A = this chain, B = another copy of it.
C-alpha cells in the first residue's frame, strides 16, 4: 500500500540534461581552435567530477568547471572575451524555459488527486526553486525537498522527519543512482523512467526487474495506471 509518491524533477518532469548537452556543445565549438571536441568533452567531465566536492551539482558549478577546463586546455591562453561567452551560456541556462515532458503534467495532476506528492530534487537551491516556479507544477506537490545529494542517508532522514514507513513510499525518477537504488536499499519502492540521455556520473547498472519494489516504465504517461495496480 503506497501512501506517499515522490518525484524527481530534472529529466523526470522536465527536460534538463539536453540543456547541459547543448551548452557543452557550444563550449566545444568555442574551443575547437585549441583542441578536438572529444578531448574537450573528456577534460570537462574530469574537471566536473573533481569539482563536485567543491561546488556540488548545478549550473553555477558546471560553469566554473567550464571556465577551469578552458583555462587548462588552452594553457592559460584563453581570452577574456571567450570566457565572457561561457558566462553568457550560464545566464542563458539559468533563464531557459522549463519544458515539461510530454504527459508529465497530466500524470502528476491525476496522482495529486489521490496521494500527497513530494518533489525531491538535487542541485542548486536557487536554480531548482526558479525551475519549479517556471514549470508551473509546484502547486501540485504538498512537499518540496531540495537536497545537495540523493543518497540513502538523505532518504532515511526524510522518512524519519515525516514518520513515514519506507514500504509505503514510492519514488519516481530517471536516475538509478539517485532515485532508484537508494530508495530500494531503504525498503521503499521505485519506478525508473529512463530519459533519453543520462549524465555519465549518474550511470548505474539496472536492478533485476523481479526485484522487490522495482518498476520500470518507458513513459511517465503510464505511471497512473501502474500506481493503480499497486493498491
**Could you tell me the dominant secondary structure of chain A's interface residues?**
helix
How far is A142 from B204 in the complex, measured between Cα atoms in Å?
35
Name the one of B54, B60, B67, B75 contacting A55, with C-beta atoms under 8 angstroms: B60
Q: Contact between B55 and A71 (Cβ–Cβ < 8 Å)?
A: no
Q: Contact between B70 and A80 (Cβ–Cβ < 8 Å)?
A: yes
Q: Contact between B71 and A84 (Cβ–Cβ < 8 Å)?
A: yes
How far is A74 from B163 in the complex, measured between Cα atoms in Å?
56
Q: Contact between B80 and A78 (Cβ–Cβ < 8 Å)?
A: yes
Residue numbers in B under 8 Å from A146 (CB-CB): 125
**A80-B70, A80-B76 known; A125-B87 Cβ under 8 A:** no
A68: Cβ under 8 A from any B Cβ: yes
Q: Contact between B80 and A77 (Cβ–Cβ < 8 Å)?
A: yes
Q: Contact between A71 and B83 (Cβ–Cβ < 8 Å)?
A: yes
**A55-B126, A56-B125, A126-B148 known; A64-B87 Cβ under 8 A:** yes
How far is A93 from B100 in the complex, measured between Cα atoms in Å?
36
**A60-B60, A94-B55 known; A76-B84 Cβ under 8 A:** yes
A-B pairs, top 8 by smallest CB distance, nearest first, are A56-B126, A76-B80, A125-B125, A60-B60, A71-B80, A76-B81, A78-B80, A126-B148
